[in-house]
Amino acid sequence: MGAMRAVSLLFLAATWLFGQVQYDLLLRGGRVVDARNGINAVRDVAILDGKVAAVGTRIDPARALKTIDASGLYVTPGLIDIHVHVYTGTGEKASYAGDLSVPPDGFTFRSGVTTVADAGCSGWRNFEDFKDRIIDRSRTRVLAFLNIVGNGMRGGRFENNLADMESKPTAEMALKYKDTVVGVKTAHYTGPEWAPVERAVEAGEIARIPVMVDFGSDRPERTIGDLLAVKLRPGDIYTHAFSGLRHELGDDGRLNPALKAGRARGIFFDLGFGGGSFAWPVAAEAYKEGFSPDSISTDLHTASMNAAMKDMLNIMSAVMAAGAKVEDVIRQATWNPAREIRREDLGNLSVGAPADVAVLRLESGAFGYADMYGGRMKGDKRLVCELTLRAGKVVYDLNAMSREDWQGLPRGYRYQGDPKWDAISPARPRRPAAAPVSK
């Protein structure tokens, strides 16, 4: 038996050496949409050691340990949702650093999302707790915008406290965790002062990261025009772009010229659907005037997850109903947000990139998409996630497309996956036989 095992191991080694098996996983025959590399065509995608190893017109399946047929489906980089609230588990009531947030892994992979950015739930005072509690324990890649409020997004008495909005400690925490903190967030402020925006921008300058603005209450002293023309820098992000709550539409029903002027300055516009930040009159007019969001994001939290928002793919499908093409929404959920948060290692399928992949089905039918007020838009297309890979391994498989029919498996079969490509049910390592007990 020992000799046979040695021969088997030599055969496997020779197979790898001479190129017959070069990849852990091959996605074959899907339509690859990769905005960074200008690909919108049927291609094969090969993966090795958690990285994209090759993208080609035909890659021999004999060279892969596992092949999955993606014919008729879209193969895209893993989706990137840059506006979520996932700092949960603290037990704090009515707080985004608590009960209003949701655990990321329960909402990401089933929608093709592999990376999220928490949008300001924590500030410099509680970020390390957030990192230990959620970021370091999640299979989803969790990045963060650090709130300019030191205590984070814990309700009005914290979020309106100007004394707790400090640029220097915010920037210091961002620099300490520069691989995780991708920006500074200001949100929900109800006062007339510009201080929250100004201090967030100052922190962003020190740490060399962008600022995301949820502009809070509509105040005549703080206009959207001044925000986009004066206060923000090129590369900063205006979220909730289609809410209509801060004069995104003019009195004439046309798009506020400040938005187009802001885009010309280099400001990014993020959808940030949420529970109360997307209205069809704004979105429809924006698309009519050729103004689409730079990035699509959910603003995921307990009040949005079962409401009109639902998930990333529902929003992408909704804006397709408003006139966007499938290639547009894929770009706005992959490469565009990666650029906005300055993580250009993500959101693409370049050779050497992390093998975070979404395999999506585009369905035709009669669908409907609601806005925050309950207004309905009819649609005839819907995106559904069939398969999600995180770091080259299957983490979600809607219709078991990565599995073999049970009737063709050996009698008494057990786990069929391989840990090289399967993170759902890989073969379990066998325990060594117990040593005989001495008598």
| CA separation for the pair 312, 298 (Å, rounded) | 6
Residue 96 located in a structural domain: yes
Residue 260 located in a structural domain: yes
Half-sphere exposure of 210 (CA within 13 A, CB side): 25
Residue 73 located in a structural domain: no
- Span between the terminal Cα atoms of the chain, in Å: 29
Number of CB atoms found within 10 A of residue 63's CB: 17
Q: Residue 436: what pLDDT?
A: 43
| CA separation for the pair 144, 14 (Å, rounded) | 45
Residue 418 located in a structural domain: no
Nearest to 63 by CA among 25, 97, 98, 91: 25
Residue 263 located in a structural domain: yes
∠ CA 281-284-289, nearest 5°, is 120
| CA separation for the pair 339, 336 (Å, rounded) | 5
Q: What are phi and psi of 177, to 5 degrees?
A: -120, 55
**DSSP, res 189:** -
| CA separation for the pair 54, 431 (Å, rounded) | 36
What letters, b where the CB count within 10 A reaches 16 and e where it falls short, cover 259-286? beebeeeebbbbbbbbbbbbbbebbbbb
* Structure tokens that stand for 183 in this block: 């920006």
Which residues are registered as beta bridge partners of 402? Answer: none
* Structure tokens that stand for 438 in this block: 């001495």
Residue 207's domain comprises 79-352+362-380
Nearest to 210 by CA among 245, 177, 176, 174: 174
Contact 64, 26 (CB under 8 A): yes
Q: Residue 52: what pLDDT?
A: 98
Q: Residue 301: what pLDDT?
A: 98
**DSSP, res 231:** I
What letters, b where the CB count within 10 A reaches 16 and e where it falls short, cover 210-228? bbbbbbbeeeeebbbeebb
Residue 63 located in a structural domain: no
| CA separation for the pair 429, 431 (Å, rounded) | 6
Q: Residue 7: what pLDDT?
A: 37
| CA separation for the pair 222, 114 (Å, rounded) | 36
Residue 406 located in a structural domain: no
Residue 376 located in a structural domain: yes
What is the three-class DSSP state of 282? Answer: helix
Q: Residue 104: what pLDDT?
A: 98
| CA separation for the pair 124, 170 (Å, rounded) | 5
Contact 292, 260 (CB under 8 A): no
Q: What are 318-347's pLDDT values in tens digits?
A: 999 999 999 999 999 999 999 999 999 999
Residues 6+ apart with CB under 8 A from 293: 241, 242, 269, 270, 271, 319, 332
Q: Residue 432: what pLDDT?
A: 53
Farthest-apart Cα atoms in the chain, separation: 93
Segments in the chain below pLDDT 70: 1-19, 429-439
Q: Is the dihedral of CA 191, 192, 198, 199 positive or negative?
A: negative
* Structure tokens that stand for 1 in this block: 């038996």
Count of the separate structural domains present in the chain: 1
What pTM was computed for the model?
0.93
Instruction: Tell me the CATH number at 267.
Output: 3.20.20.140
Residue type for position 265: R
Q: Residue 19: what pLDDT?
A: 53
